[in-house]
Structure 1
Amino acid sequence: MANILLTGGSRGIGAAIADTLRPDHALAVQSTSGPLAADFADPAAPADLWARALDALDGRIDVLINNAGVFDANPLDLPHADWVAGWERTLRINLTAAAELSRLAVTHWQDTGTPGRIVNIASRAAHRGDSPAHWHYAASKAGMVAMTKTIARAYAKDGILAFAICPGFTMTGMAEDYLASRGGDKLLADIPLGRVAMPDEVAAIARFCATDAPPSMTGAVLDVNGASYVR
């Protein structure tokens, strides 16, 4: 049984990941409310969450799954200061918080001499880009992919593995709103599978990476997008 810290676990992909892991593993699940509430817009939140999660899991975390994120529109015609603020908030929540938690995880495993795994939930946008109002979102997810590869290359010798998962549109509340705003049928026509991914499909891959993927897979970036972007 692994001790797992999962961020963004209250709905959508995060809730599906929690559901698939909970029967066999000990979970500490961060959300915006509840016992492990944390607001990653606050620079102090990641370190505070790590300490509380470590305490909840009896001093040992084996797997970190960085899923928390925001997908807020940031139109180009906003006042400049507001546009920059949108960038800073999204990168803080989507990338910097995940980087801080990953650093704390790596140093925890190095200090204890134990192996560990990091699973980062990135996005198709990391490779394909996103809408004109989402430069910041695409950049944050591309940064997450680059960070994953760097961690994998740097710490494999220590038994520390890292994986990134890049979903396309996934049927969460956030995706439903976006599909409606972009004319859903036209957007779906761009997905050869003919539908968006379901949260449990992404969760199955996250579970595999967190618990079963062979060590030689470290550094892998796995696409879940219905062939809407192949590389």
Structure 2
Amino acid sequence: MTSILLTGSSRGIGAAAKSALEARGAKVIGQATRTDREDTVPSNFCEPNAPHELWHAALARSGGKIDVLVNNAGLFDPNPIERSDIEWLDAWEDTMRINLTAAAQLSRFAVRHWQERGCTGRIVHVASRAGHRGDSPAHWQYAASKGGMLAMHKSIARAYACEGILSFAITPGFTDTAMAGDYLESRGGPGLLADIPLGRVAEPEEIARLIEFCALDAPASMTGATLDANGASYVR
């Protein structure tokens, strides 16, 4: 049975991915900031030691072996430049720690785990279209964190492919989740769809299918690839 650590598993894309992966027979250990689910580890990535504690808790629950890491946890809060210096910096640091630093820590633990065991493994990074094209004036920190995630993903893919350690990234555009709902409304609601040739935002289940594919099915030669899912609103 494939053991998967999936961060941000309590709602939206994460919840849909958990269901999709479990339907394929995988054992999924979830992560959420707050949870009362037995199959999910409570872990607040604003705390520097949280990824370390999560990793070891996930190992204990999976019998000492994790095959796939899915870095999906994310913070998407506005951070207007008009804020005070300390407020702006605190919001920047929170986003970076949750979206990028925690993902980097977990990726490091995963790579070392597979190296020590002499086995293969996969990392799936859920980044964002914002990592390519930027985001709104109030979301510098979000775009920067997702751009950093994409650079990290490419570095991992190039460094460890020879060891059978594979890295994939997914870059959704707007997705119909609770996290994006307020942003969609703030940017004009239905008017925002004019920028999406498909005419709608993605459903969480669509992104979950890509996570499932990368985690379980993607051929090894695809390592280093980034899969866009944005309704042609950003075409590379």
TM-score normalised according to structure 1 size? 0.99
Instruction: Name the aligned partner's letter for residue 168 of structure 2.
Output: F
2:144 counterpart of 1:139:
yes
**Offset at residue 176 of structure 1 (A):** 1.8
Shift of 1:191: 0.1
Q: Which runs of 5+ in 2 are unaligned?
A: none
Partner of 1:216: 221
Partners of 1:165 and 1:18 lie apart in 2 by 16
Is 1:50 aligned to 2:92, yes or no? no
Q: Which residue of 1 aligns with 2:42?
A: 37
* Partners of 1:136 and 1:173 in 2: CA distance: 19
Q: Distance in 2 between matches of 1:156 and 1:94?
A: 24
The runs of 5 or more residues in structure 1 that have no matched partner are none
Task: Report the equivalent of 1:194.
Answer: 199
**By how many angstroms is 1:223 displaced?**
0.3
Q: How many residues align?
A: 231
Question: What CA distance in whole angstroms lies between the structure 1 residues aligned with 2:82 and 2:92?
Answer: 14
The SS at the match of 2:195 is coil
Aligned positions of 1:33-112 closer than 5 A: 33-34=35-36, 35=38, 36-112=41-117
Residue 60 of structure 1, CA deviation: 0.2
Farther-moved stretch of structure 1 (23-32 vs 155-164):
23-32
Two-structure CA RMSD over aligned residues (Å): 0.7
1:142-164 CA-to-partner distances (Å, cap 9, x unmatched) read 00000000000000011000001
Offset at residue 175 of structure 1 (A): 1.6
Inter-partner Cα distance in structure 2 for 1:110 and 1:175? 37
Cα offset, 1:185, TM superposition: 2.1
The reply on whether 1:129 has 2:134 as its aligned counterpart is yes
Quote the Cα distance in structure 1 between the aligned partners of 2:152 and 2:182.
29
Identity of aligned residues (%): 63
Q: Displacement of 1:112 after TM fit?
A: 0.2
2 CA distance for matches of 1:180 and 1:68?
A: 22
Specify the SS of the correspondent of 2:135. coil
**CA deviations over 1:85-113 (Å, ceiling 9, x no partner):** 11111000000000000000000000000
* Other structure's SS at 1:30 match: strand
Structure 1 counterpart of 2:21: 21
Distance in 2, Cα, partners of 1:177 & 1:45? 28
What one-letter code is carried by the residue in structure 2 that aligns with 1:224? Answer: A
Q: Distance in 1 between matches of 2:190 and 2:198?
A: 13
Instruction: Specify which of 151, 159, 173 is matched with residue 154 of structure 1.
Output: 159
